[in-house]
Amino acid sequence: MVRITLKDGSQREYPRGTTILQMVEDISGKLARKSLVARFNERLVDLGTPVNEDGRLEILTFDDEEGQEVYRHTSTHIMAQAVKRLFPDTGLAIGPPIEKGFYYDFDSSHTFTPDDFAQIEREMQRIIESDYPVVRREISREEALKLFREKGEPYKVELIEALPEGETISIYQQGEFIDLCAGPHLPSTGRVKAFKLMSLAGAYWRGDERNKMLQRIYGTSFPQKALLDDYLYKVEEAKKRDHRRLGKELDLFVVLDEGPGFPFFLPKGMIIRNELERFWREEHARAGYQEIRTPVILNRGLWERSGHWDHYRENMYFTVIDDEDYAVKPMNCPGGMLVYKQHLHSYRELPLRMAEMGLVHRHEKSGVLHGLMRVRAFTQDDAHIFMLPSQITDEIKGVIDLVNKFYALFGFSYHVELSTKPEKAMGSDEIWEKATAALQQALEEKGMNYKINEGDGAFYGPKIDFHLRDSLDRTWQCGTIQLDFQMPELFDLTYVGEDGERHRPVMIHRVIYGSIERFIGILTEHFGGAFPTWLAPVQVRIIPITERQHDYARTLEERFRAAGVRVEADLRSEKVGYKIRDGQMQRIPYLLVVGDKEVEAGTVAVRKRREGDLGPRPVEEFLAHITSEIASRAIN
């Protein structure tokens, strides 16, 4: 018998060789129907795995991230099987799950187009209805090479040859289809219920532009049609909300051929930017930060000292001044270090929090540039905190509180990821372990759930990343907290301790918006261009019905502007209906229609975005309402 400990701590015993699926069916028929994969003794395994030892068992469903990945991994095998049936000469490359979907890269003499999707989907449906068991087999390296050579799959052969000696090689089979795969997978193809092929792209084999260009087919899948329909709706909604289109329509920003990756902010876009920066400055002053500004161009020696020259040079821009090499800063931290060094600091001054809206430049390849989301010049809302080792946990918790305040303002929820030492890193394992433990302690003391990303830290220290979720259920990595023991050492930063001796401070790098440009892009799509009143470039538009009300409209405009409201009077010779529709297209929060009745009564007829006609309101009443809404930074 084997003793199985479940997630709730309860225990059960089963005969050796009982499969996990059989155990789940014994526990709950409903859970068995929802189950997709299992975690046994901290390892993800197929439900068909026989158990021959005691262990801890957790059953994962589509509600779990790993469950979704396995569901979509099996979906990509189903798609590949369908493609092989329809286009037999197609070579298989790789087919992983990705967030909200999956893809497979194919090498085919047939050029795929969206017109092929319906045919492939019909074949996928046949495979699902056949409900083939998805069977795992472990084979030797020699068997694997022989199998895929005979099947004419050179990409699989190359992957096998690249595996280290002694690596376990597994294959999965469903019907006639066999693929090289580590797994795990669903028990059978019939578990996939709702799916859709989405798009096509080119992809170099192994991401190397020297290799052959393959054809990538993207798809998605869900256990219920309603979930698929909701996802497809959000995809279409995202297209309508594309910040590049809205940025042009609403006169917020442009990216021109004269400066690819270097956005131009227009007057209305600058209003949004300035409001975000104003809020940032208010909250940072309240939290005890001092604002600084450091130069954009600094000497090469500084970047060699900081480690950027060795670890980040391919992403930097350079220039020569007075026959010496200089670099355009890709990060603000070395400048912050120089500011700290301008004075000898006492332990009584620490923590010292220095914040900077710092313009940085990074060399991004042209193919990845994307509106405001991926640019070559952007402003980081950076801050560097210098502290005693004993202050680390409290300072990290303070940054988390500030992040909470910022994201709550915009209605964002978020999840947290902790990234550890990367392969290319500075410093000893001991220092990295100490830094990582400090971040974990702060997260646990705040009671926060977090995911660990092994090897994804910055080259100088581990980090906490905040991934916010927008109104279309997409996630964006914005805020970051990085703990750094390396830079203070490299720059010989010190403070005078209680003992009168010099000691090394610890340093935190952190951002909250991340990049002002990118955050504006995210907000534009999150709100669909309908910004909260406090952020809206134009908060009120006054629409006189005829020319007789122009003087009244101008008087109102002056009065509102004096009260701090961003207002404009629409005095164009157009029909009222046209002016209202135009105001709606511009996503202006309030349209005030004024005719003879409103002039006589000293009122305005209020039309509120999304709510429509609210009827007449006394001017003072409306003005008090909107100024209160702006002052509170309400998001409606």
What CA–CA distance (Å, rounded) separates 159 from 180?
Answer: 9
What CA–CA distance (Å, rounded) separates 442 from 459?
Answer: 21
> If you average pLDDT over every residue of the chain, what do you get?
93
Identify the CATH assignment for 248-526 out of 2.60.40.10, 3.40.50.300, 3.40.47.10, 3.30.930.10.
Answer: 3.30.930.10
How confident is the model at residue 487, as a pLDDT?
Answer: 87
Whether residue 455 has pLDDT greater than 90: no
Percent of the chain with pLDDT over 90: 82
116-127 pLDDT per residue, tens:
999 999 999 999
Read off φ and ψ for residue 256, nearest 5 degrees: -105, 160
What CA–CA distance (Å, rounded) separates 464 from 450?
Answer: 9
How confident is the model at residue 53, as a pLDDT?
Answer: 92
pLDDT (mean) for 401-413: 93
How confident is the model at residue 29, as a pLDDT?
Answer: 86
Half-sphere exposure of 464 (CA within 13 A, CB side): 30
What CA–CA distance (Å, rounded) separates 420 from 461?
Answer: 8
Task: Give the residue, 539 or 432, on which the prediction is more confident.
Answer: 539
How confident is the model at residue 307, as a pLDDT?
Answer: 85
Do residues 624 and 604 make contact, with C-beta atoms less than 8 angstroms apart?
A: no
pLDDT (mean) for 49-57: 91
What CA–CA distance (Å, rounded) separates 26 from 23?
Answer: 5
What CA–CA distance (Å, rounded) separates 453 from 475?
Answer: 16
Q: Burial letters for 338-376: b for 16+ Cβ neighbours within 10 Å, e otherwise?
A: ebbeeeebebeebbbbbbbbbbbbbebeeeeebbbbbbb
Contacts of 305 (CB under 8 A, 6+ apart): 334, 490, 491
Among residues 362, 376, 421, 518, which one is catalytic?
362
Radius of gyration of the chain (CA): 30
Kindly tell me the burial class for residue 616, based on how many C-beta atoms sit within 10 Å of its own C-beta (0-12, 13-18, 19 or more).
Answer: middle
- Asked if 234 is an active-site residue, the reply is no
What CA–CA distance (Å, rounded) separates 532 from 128?
Answer: 46
Whether residue 58 has pLDDT greater than 80: yes
Whether residue 65 has pLDDT greater than 80: yes
Token match 């005078």: residue? 496
pLDDT (mean) for 41-48: 92
How confident is the model at residue 367, as a pLDDT?
Answer: 84
Whether residue 460 has pLDDT greater than 80: no
- Asked if 333 is an active-site residue, the reply is yes
Among residues 284, 463, 518, 607, which one is catalytic?
463
- Asked if 376 is an active-site residue, the reply is no
Residue range 2-56 forms a domain whose CATH class is: alpha beta
What tokens does 431 get?
């220092």
Whether residue 636 has pLDDT greater than 80: no
Among residues 333, 361, 391, 465, which one is catalytic?
333
How confident is the model at residue 198, as a pLDDT?
Answer: 97
**Strand ranges for 25-99 from DSSP E:** 37-40, 43-45, 50-51, 55-60, 91-92, 97-98
Do residues 510 and 481 make contact, with C-beta atoms less than 8 angstroms apart?
A: yes
Whether residue 424 has pLDDT greater than 80: no
**Strand ranges for 35-180 from DSSP E:** 37-40, 43-45, 50-51, 55-60, 91-92, 97-98, 101-107, 135-139, 169-174, 177-180
Q: Which range is most confident: 81-85, 259-263, 574-578?
A: 81-85
Whether residue 310 has pLDDT greater than 90: no
Read off φ and ψ for residue 464, nearest 5 degrees: -105, 125
Among residues 241, 384, 541, 579, which one is catalytic?
384
Whether residue 145 has pLDDT greater than 80: yes
What CA–CA distance (Å, rounded) separates 155 from 20?
Answer: 33
Instruction: Cis check for the bond before 389: say yes or no (omega within 30 of 0).
Output: no
Is 524 strand, coil or helix?
A: helix
Kindly tell me the burial class for residue 402, based on how many C-beta atoms sit within 10 Å of its own C-beta (0-12, 13-18, 19 or more).
Answer: buried
pLDDT bucket at 427, cuts 50 / 70 / 90: confident
- H/E stretch holding 160: helix 154-162
Residue spans per domain, the chain: 2-56, 66-238, 248-526, 540-631
How confident is the model at residue 426, as a pLDDT?
Answer: 75
- Asked if 384 is an active-site residue, the reply is yes
How confident is the model at residue 306, as a pLDDT?
Answer: 87
Is 198 strand, coil or helix?
A: strand
Do residues 11 and 4 make contact, with C-beta atoms less than 8 angstroms apart?
A: yes
What CA–CA distance (Å, rounded) separates 573 from 595?
Answer: 15
Strands 135-139 and 169-174, sheet pairing? antiparallel
Question: Rounded to 5 degrees, what angle do the CA atoms 423, 425, 428 make?
Answer: 105
239-285 pLDDT per residue, tens:
999 999 999 999 999 999 999 999 999 999 999 999 999 999 999 99
- Asked if 509 is an active-site residue, the reply is yes
Half-sphere exposure of 496 (CA within 13 A, CB side): 5
Whether residue 459 has pLDDT greater than 80: no
- H/E stretch holding 227: helix 225-240
Among residues 81, 215, 380, 391, which one is catalytic?
380
Count of Cβ atoms closer than 10 Å to residue 29 Cβ? 10
Count of Cβ atoms closer than 10 Å to residue 206 Cβ? 16
Do residues 402 and 285 make contact, with C-beta atoms less than 8 angstroms apart?
A: no
Q: Helix 141-150 to helix 154-162 angle, to the nearest 10 degrees?
A: 160
- Asked if 12 is an active-site residue, the reply is no
Q: Which CATH number describes the domain made up of 540-631?
A: 3.40.50.800
How confident is the model at residue 94, as a pLDDT?
Answer: 95
Gap between the terminal Cα atoms of the chain? 59
What CA–CA distance (Å, rounded) separates 63 from 479?
Answer: 25
DSSP per-residue string spanning 277-346 = HHHHHHHHHHTT-EE----SEEEHHHHHHHTHHHHSGGG-EEEEETTEEEEE-S-SHHHHHHHHTTSPEE
Among residues 73, 216, 329, 509, which one is catalytic?
509
Count of Cβ atoms closer than 10 Å to residue 589 Cβ? 25
pLDDT (mean) for 187-216: 94
- How far is C-alpha 344 from the chain's CA centre? 40
pLDDT bucket at 207, cuts 50 / 70 / 90: confident
Give counts: helices (H), strands (E), the chain.
Answer: 20, 36
343-384 pLDDT per residue, tens:
999 999 999 999 999 999 999 988 889 999 999 999 999 999
Strands 413-419 and 450-453, sheet pairing? parallel
What CA–CA distance (Å, rounded) separates 413 from 235?
Answer: 20
Read off φ and ψ for residue 363, nearest 5 degrees: -80, 100
How confident is the model at residue 458, as a pLDDT?
Answer: 77
Q: Which CATH superfamily is domain 66-238 in?
A: Threonyl-trna Synthetase; Chain A, domain 2 (3.30.980.10)
How confident is the model at residue 627, as a pLDDT?
Answer: 97
Read off φ and ψ for residue 424, nearest 5 degrees: -100, 95
- Asked if 343 is an active-site residue, the reply is no
Among residues 179, 382, 470, 570, which one is catalytic?
382
